[in-house]
A and B are shown apart, each in its own frame.
Chain A
Amino acid sequence: MKPQEIAALLDLGDSYLERYRGGKKIKKVMKNRTQINLFFEESTRTSTSFELAGKRLGADVINMVTSTSSIKKGETLIDTAMTLNAMRPSVLVIRHGSSGAAALLAQKVNCAVINAGDGRHEHPTQALLDALTIRRRKGRIQGLTVAICGDILHSRVARSNIHLLNAMGARVRVVAPPTLLPVAVDRLGVDVFHDMRSGLAGADIVMMLRLQTERMKGAFVPSTREYFHFYGLDAGKLAMAKPDAMIMHPGPMNRGVEIDTEVADDIDRSAIREQVETGVAIRMACLDALCRDLDAEEDD
């Protein structure tokens, strides 16, 4: 996406946020439209956020959770896509454990497709909501230093944020042990740090990532204890960042693993709750923008 397009989506998200915070009436731009949330992976917050966003815009929202553990999981994806397509929804929101799954689905259906996370590839609406959260707190994105910390290797949130923040003119750093960084990550336009204190030095935004517990038992890092010692965000490490640095986390948090409870709950510093609220607004913006495109097509 181009910076202007991103900015337009953020503006739209901003206005939705103001409207429902202020209790104002929201135009039901998705009236008589069907939105299907197709989740092949468990997710409470993202699916709820998309569901709420659709409902606030007046859409009929259907949630489908399909386990990826079924034997022929890939076949399920294409077959399900074709079946759902025949039901003529306006928007399909998909989350899948395989990178590229949303793109594959988009080739097979006629409706709009939103990627709600595909494997370790991308999670675009998360990056958009993070950008909006940053912009609301800091007034801008351009020129800010953002340190993304933790499991970059397996994180689609990190990849989407790197692309978006770079496009918007932020300086992006990644901070992680070498075993949790993808090969050639510097080619994505980031500065790489293995030492968290130097990685956080002078940062405006500290973006923490979730580290799944099964990856900590000797596979990628030796132990939870060692990980928290070197890469857990606590008051001491946070002191290296700017005094007004903002803390973000896509959730769900592992308290005591990647983030100290005290820091996570610091109302002044932590934007973690706000991110959830912004998430609904930015997803409304995405749905709205896509439906405008659909309206234009249908008028033709």
Chain B
Amino acid sequence: MAADRRVVYINARLIDPASGRDERGALLTVGGKIWDLGAALFADGITDGSEVVDCKGMCLTPGFIDMQVFLGESVDTTAKAAAAGGVTSIATMPNMNPVVDRASLVDYVERLAHDSGVRIHPIAAATKDLGGEEMTEIGLLRQAGALAFTDGRKAIADSQVMRRILTYAKAHDALVIQHAEDPMLAREGVMNEGEMATRLGLPGIPSIAEVIMIERDLRLVALTGCRYHVGLVTTAAAVDAVRKAKAAGLPVTCGTAPHYFALNELAVAEYRTFARTSPPLRTEEDRRAVVEGLADGTIDVIVSSHDPHDVESKRLPFDLAASGVIGLETLLPIMLELHHGGHVPLAHLLAALTSRPAGILGIPGGRLAKGERADLVLFNPDTPWRIDPEQFHSKAKNSPFEGRPVQGRIIRTILGGRTVYQAG
């Protein structure tokens, strides 16, 4: 692509959550950057011979930044799924083979992104081989480009280990991400503890397993001052704990995933293994609390927690099936349910997928502003459709939203000024 290639997006509804901009106008990209934008831009209709994309009044926003993606299948299909979902940057979890716990592997993961159609930001393991015991080379990993440290699907459970990681990471200004689930309380559990689990005869994971881990960590955060992020907040008690910690001024942020605000534990009925997740789907009361947490800003980011699993690992009795759902290609429409339902304003939701994750991870992008990366997504927030995993680009089809009628569809995804996805 020529470095000076000019593309003009006209008749766009420009939404920039970071600045509060929401206006009809145009946006010009030159090469990989946003050159200019606004209501006045090209208002006279003269576009100087630039390539013109007519947005027909649809929403043009910063490309989505997904803070939690498991690279469970090829980078190629993951990148295609991301582009189809409007996601231009993904932060990848260290749960790979081999585990991303050395600087050379961070470099390797970054290079996987090359020409794939998505930017990849590696998150490194907090402990060697995700073993929960020995700290990884946080400083060297940070220098190599690791944005954050986590043990992925496992909590950093040992209090002493967690304290040292937070203390050490603080010195390198590193972010520590926790999978907040007390493994002892969750042991054997395969779904949320309660009436539903009792009826199905499945061992339950109590919801307190989440808040107990968070509350312990918050004490350690207060002690160390390290930046701390709860990957997935799924219970009312946890939302409340984070809300209080923020009010107390602790450097705490948190995220959640669409299945935690769009589904509850009833989705597990009839032993649907596609609804087996970690943490598990919770009660309706918890679901409502998550929505409220998004509305009042307690929950900073929305992630897909995209976690592909093949049919063999899901077509099993519930307790033997793998945990995890795919989510890149359903991120926007499920999120928009909260907008259409009047629960959370659109700009607020978009911030949770753009400027906020960029800010937490400390990466460029996530904004519509002069000089920013031209990572953009164009979507129609109202298009009705029915979710059909068979149409997904993702190789794995383990979506809990199969058959769900939704609204909102990606029209075009632009990465560094270049279109990487266009709806057929």
Contact = CB atoms under 8 A, between A and B. Distances in A.
Given A78-B315, A99-B271, A118 B194 contact: no
B317 A99 contact: yes
B198 A100 contact: no
Nearest to A152: B198
Contacts of A77: 316-317
B202 interface: yes
Given A75-B312, A100-B271, A103-B270, A188 B319 contact: no
A118 B201 contact: yes
Contact of B318 (A99, A122, A183, A187): A99
Using C-beta atoms within 8 Å of the partner chain, give the interface range for chain A: 20 to 34
A183 B194 CA distance: 5
A164 B271 CA distance: 21
A185 interface: yes
B201 A187 contact: no
A231 to B, nearest CB: 20
B293 interface: no
B214 to A, nearest CB: 21
A256 interface: no
A134 B318 CA distance: 34
B195 A74 contact: no
A99 B201 contact: yes
A120 interface: yes
A121 interface: yes
Interface in B173-212: 193-195, 197-204, 206
A182 B196 CA distance: 11
B222 interface: no
A185 B198 CA distance: 7
A78 B270 CA distance: 17
Contact of A96 (B197, B203, B317): B317
Interface in A70-128: 73-75, 77-78, 96, 98-101, 103-104, 118-122
A160 to B, nearest CB: 10
A185 to B, nearest CB: 6
B194 A184 contact: yes
Contact of A74 (B197, B200, B317): B317
B393 to A, nearest CB: 27
Using C-beta atoms within 8 Å of the partner chain, give the interface range for chain B: 20 to 34
A148 to B, nearest CB: 14
Contacts of B319: 98-99, 119
A183 B312 CA distance: 31
A1 to B, nearest CB: 16
A78 B316 contact: yes
A156 interface: yes
B363 interface: no
Interface string B232-252: 000000000000000000000
B245 to A, nearest CB: 28
A249 interface: no
B320 interface: yes
A165 to B, nearest CB: 16
A100 B318 contact: yes
A184 B195 contact: yes
Contacts of B318: 98-100
A171 interface: no
A188 B318 CA distance: 22
B122 to A, nearest CB: 32
A73 B201 contact: no
Contacts of B194: 183-184
Interface in B376-392: none
A159 interface: yes
A99 B321 contact: no
A185 B315 CA distance: 29
A45 to B, nearest CB: 21
Given A103-B271, A182-B198, 18 more contacts: A74-B316, A99-B318, A99-B319, A100-B200, A100-B202, A100-B318, A101-B317, A104-B271, A104-B316, A119-B319, A121-B202, A156-B201, A159-B199, A159-B201, A182-B197, A183-B194, A183-B197, A187-B198
5 contacts: A74-B315, A98-B316, A121-B201, A183-B198, A183-B204
Interface of B: 193-195, 197-204, 206, 270-271, 312, 315-321
Interface of A: 73-75, 77-78, 96, 98-101, 103-104, 118-122, 156, 159, 182-185, 187-188
